[in-house]
Amino acid sequence: MKVSLVIMAAGLGSRYGGSKQVDGIGPHHEILMEYSIYDALRAGFNKVVFIIKPEMEEMMRRLCGDYLEKKTARDGSPVEVAYVFQDFSSMPDFYTIPPERTKPFGTVHALLCAADAVREPCCVINADDYYGIDAYQTIYDELVRLPAEGKATMVGYLLKNTASLHGTVSRGICTVADGKLQSVREALKVQMYPDGSLKDLAEDRDLAPDTVVSMNFWGFAPSIFPALRAYFENFLRHEAGDNIKAECLLPVMVDQQMQDGKLEVSVLHSTDRWFGMTYQQDREVVAAELKKLHETGAYPEDLRK
């Protein structure tokens, strides 16, 4: 059975101050998404789809794609690799892009750009997050039995393990009941303080450290793509307008689908710890964590072999 890992890697990394997706953070200069790919392949995934900017293709092939195409998946098949571009060429004809706009339209737009390349159940991730070994096995096991219509899944993380002391982060705040996602609300300015307390500065409200959050670690059937297209086109017609920073976000889209009764989302949990790089100051911590994982044998010396 084909199951794909879809990596959203076209982001600009503006808060990080550079292209964090290709920062050699591991002990042998591995980039963060290489850990995701390694974990996914050993869990059973057999296809990798990179969502990138067109000018990134040569670099992505050199960093990951070329050696991936020589690998064998756990089921014995060759690993399939695909590249799709998140750019303005995929925009519908009815929408006029503001001349000043240079940034893509967010994670719904990103995944929609992969519609022609993904015909199987898929796990969708951020390129600049580390989700943990167990998380990939957990979501793979769910994806292989995911119904073709009306169902999706996600791995949830605790807010206290996903915030940064170095600035605000955006998180999908989840309400969960009986293992099912009830709602997800985008908190755009979550700040952690040295005492461990957390606040959504945009709404001036305190947040519980054990709040379940979405880290864009979603599992979808390919039937999600028509819903993505309809939602994105509605966003362009009624919300984007001339706002050059407007973004169409997956957590918001999933929430709308749930409220409309069109989607049921199971919430999975991982025993591993998430970590990522939002700010340059996060880099040292992430590098130390990865080094420790190599030293304890969680990862081999060379991920590329």
In angstroms, rounded to a whole number, what is the distance separating the alpha carbons of residues 89 and 119?
21
Token pair for residue 56?
Answer: 């990134």
- Among 123, 85, 104, 135, CA closest to 12: 104
What is the reported pLDDT for 23?
64
DSSP assignment string, the chain: ---EEEEE-----TTTTS-GGG---STT---HHHHHHHHHHHHT--EEEEEE-GGGHHHHIIIIIHHHTT-B-TTSSBPEEEEEE-SGGGS-TTPPPPTT--S---HHHHHHTTTTT--S-EEEEETTEE--HHHHHHHHHHHTT--SSSEEEEEEEEGGGT--TTS-EEEEEEEEETTEEEEEEEEEEEEE-TTS-EEETTTTEEE-TT-EEEEEEEEE-TTHHHHHHHHHHHHIIIIITT-TT----HHHHHHHHHHTTS-EEEEEE-SSPPEE-SSGGGHHHHHHHHHHHHHTTSS-S-TT-
Amino acid letter, residue 48: V
Q: What is the pLDDT of residue 20?
A: 47
What is the spatial distance between Cα 122 and Cα 118, in angstroms, rounded to a whole number?
A: 7
Mode of pairing for the β-strands spanning 122-126 and 4-8: parallel
At residue 17, the pLDDT reads 43
Determine the pLDDT at residue 15: 40
Mind listing the pLDDT tens digit of every residue in the chain (305 residues)? 999 999 998 874 444 344 544 567 888 888 888 999 999 999 999 999 999 988 888 888 988 889 999 999 999 999 999 999 998 888 999 999 999 988 889 999 999 999 999 999 999 999 888 999 999 999 999 999 999 889 999 999 999 988 888 889 889 899 999 999 999 998 889 999 999 999 999 999 999 999 999 998 999 999 999 999 999 999 999 998 888 888 999 999 999 999 999 999 999 988 777 887 777 777 888 889 999 999 999 999 888 88
- Domains parsed from the chain with CATH numbers: 4-295 (3.90.550.10)
